[in-house]
């Protein structure tokens, strides 16, 4: 196969949570440009509609906007049913939605904050992966991509709940790769500091971490696309349970 054929997503359907902005929007756009129809899921419907309309206008692919709070299991069945109702299948699931709220000190981490971070970053991706992965296994297979964080391997005091949840997501990747194999591949992207809302909120701490990066800079949003296309496409046909660092050489 040629390089173009390896990364071709024509005829496939990709669902991306947190798909209305940042890394999620970049992946939605890239998948559509590679030939896939897409489901843009996020908490705010207006933002999903804006991205979906842009995708259809610029790529000619179909795009379904859907409002969903990933941390609430009772909303996930509706998302899955809408995706399968519109397209008949999901070939690629990207668990990208995430949150990492700031807190003054570890003593200021409330149970509510902890639970919200776990729900968005770990509980929701588990449930959505089970719902879609089970259908993928019964059908033609597919690819699940979890978006973790370099912080899951290099946790810092200002991201304790977030790093803990993402470390759980890494473990989930390996577990589900074995649970859904051989028809479904499950892999993880681990971004480092990118120009997103989350990293911008980390302020001075994020700047300190950049000093130890081999590339000496934060990532631009579109630089997540290469890894995402690799895991979504046939280029990664022999990769599952993998954790790919996309972090500019963070140490």
Q: Which residues are catalytic?
A: 162
| Cα R_g (the chain), whole angstroms | 17
188 in Cβ contact with 93 (< 8 Å): no
Residue 223: exposed, middle, or buried by beta-carbon count in 10 A (0-12, 13-18, 19+)?
middle
136 in Cβ contact with 180 (< 8 Å): yes
- 248-251 contacts: CB < 8 A, separation 24 or more? 248/192, 248/193, 248/213, 248/214, 248/215, 248/216, 248/217, 248/218, 248/219, 249/213, 249/214, 249/215, 250/150, 250/154, 250/192, 250/193, 250/209, 250/212, 250/213, 250/214, 251/154, 251/212, 251/213, 251/214
CA atoms of 137 and 213, how far apart (whole Å)? 39
């Amino acid at each position: 196969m040629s390089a173009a054929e390896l990364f071709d997503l024509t005829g496939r359907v990709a669902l991306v949570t947190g798909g209305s902005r940042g890394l999620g929007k970049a992946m939605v756009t890239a998948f559509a440009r590679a030939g896939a129809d897409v489901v843009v899921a996020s908490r705010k419907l207006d933002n999903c509609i804006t991205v979906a309309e842009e995708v259809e206008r610029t790529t000619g692919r179909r795009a379904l906007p859907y409002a969903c709070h990933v941390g609430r299991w009772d909303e996930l069945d509706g998302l899955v049913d809408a995706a399968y109702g519109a397209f008949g299948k999901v070939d690629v699931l990207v668990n990208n939605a995430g949150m990492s709220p700031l807190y003054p000190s570890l003593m200021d981490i409330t149970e509510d904050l902890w639970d919200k971070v776990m729900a968005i970053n770990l509980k929701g991706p588990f449930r959505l992966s089970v719902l879609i992965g089970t259908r993928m296994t019964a059908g033609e297979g597919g690819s699940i991509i979890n978006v973790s964080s370099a912080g899951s391997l290099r946790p810092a005091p200002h991201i304790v709940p977030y790093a803990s949840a993402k470390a759980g997501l890494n473990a989930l990747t390996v577990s589900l790769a074995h649970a859904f194999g051989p028809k479904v591949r499950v892999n993880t992207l681990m971004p480092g500091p990118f120009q997103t809302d989350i990293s911008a909120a980390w302020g001075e701490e994020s700047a300190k971490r950049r000093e130890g990066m081999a590339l000496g800079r934060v990532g631009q949003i579109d630089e997540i696309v290469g890894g995402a296309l690799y895991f979504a496409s046939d280029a990664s046909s022999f990769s599952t349970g993998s954790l790919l660092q996309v972090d500019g050489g963070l140490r």
